[in-house]
Amino acid sequence: MDASARLATYIKAHPDAVGKVVDFNGVTDCLYKFDFTAANTELRPYIIADSGKFSRWVNAKLTTHGCRYGIGGYMEHRTIYAHTPLFNAADEPRRLHLGIDIWAEAGTPVYSPLEGKVHSFQDNAGPGDYGPTIILQHDLDGLTLYSLYGHLSRQSLDGLSAGQEVSKDQQIGGLGNSTENGHWPPHLHFQLMLNVDGNFGDYPGVGRFSQKEKFLQNIPDPNLILGFPED
C-alpha cells in the first residue's frame, strides 16, 4: 500500500478529523490550475528568472479567470526549475514537484488541517528555496504523518517552539512575499510525508524524476487533505 492509500484509508474512517489549509470555499471560489511543465510555452525563462515579472504573470492569470487561488502540481515534472542552481545537480537535475502549490496573495492565512504539534521550523533562505518553513507532526491512530508549509512569511516563525501543540483549523502563518520566500511569487508549498528522514525545518519539495516510485511510498497526495475539486 503506497502513502496515498494509507492516508486515504484513515480519512475515510475519520472524515471529521480533516480541516482546512486555506480559506477555500468550494461554492464561491474557483481554482486556476497552473501548468509548469514544458507544455507551458507562454511562461518564458526571462519571466521565471524575474520574481516581479513572474508574480505579475501569476496574478494576471488569477485575475483573468476570476480565481482567488491557483494550484499545481503533485508529482508534476516541472521545467521552471532549470533557471535555479539549487535544482541543477550535475548527475540528474531535480524537476519532480512533490507537493501542491497554492498561489495567492502575500499574507493569505495558512492553517493546520489536523491536530498535531510543531515538529520543526526554520528559514530556508536562498534563491529558489522555501524561505520560512514549518513542519507539523500528526498522529493518525498510529499512522505518523508530517505536513510541510513552505514559502511562509518570516512573521510565521515568531514564537514557535518544537513540540508546541496545534489544533485543527488553527492559523499557523501566512504567505510570504518574494523578498522572504525564496524569490517566488507568493504561494504555499504544501507537502505531506510519512517519514522526514531526520530532516528538521526542511524536506525536499522537488526530487529527481528517476526516484518517483520511491517518493510515492513516502509522500501522499496533498489533495487528500485539501479536498480541492479535481476539475
Residues 50-96: tens digit of each pLDDT = 999 999 999 999 999 999 999 988 999 887 665 666 666 667 676 78
- CA dist 125 and 25 (Å) reads 32
Domain regions of the chain by residue span: 3-224
Decide if 83 contacts 54 (C-beta within 8 A): no
The grid cell for 202 is 526542511
Which positions of the chain have pLDDT values less than 50? none
Contacts of 52 (CB under 8 A, 6+ apart): 178
DSSP state of 71: E
- CA dist 92 and 186 (Å) reads 28
Q: In CATH, which superfamily holds the domain spanning 3-224?
A: Glucose Permease (Domain IIA) (2.70.70.10)
What pLDDT shows up at residue 90? 65
What pLDDT shows up at residue 92? 67
Q: Tell me the three state secondary structure of residue 197.
A: coil
What pLDDT shows up at residue 82? 58
- CA dist 30 and 97 (Å) reads 23
- CA dist 151 and 149 (Å) reads 7
The grid cell for 49 is 528568472
The grid cell for 26 is 468550494
Decide if 110 contacts 174 (C-beta within 8 A): yes
Grid cell 516510485 is found at 213
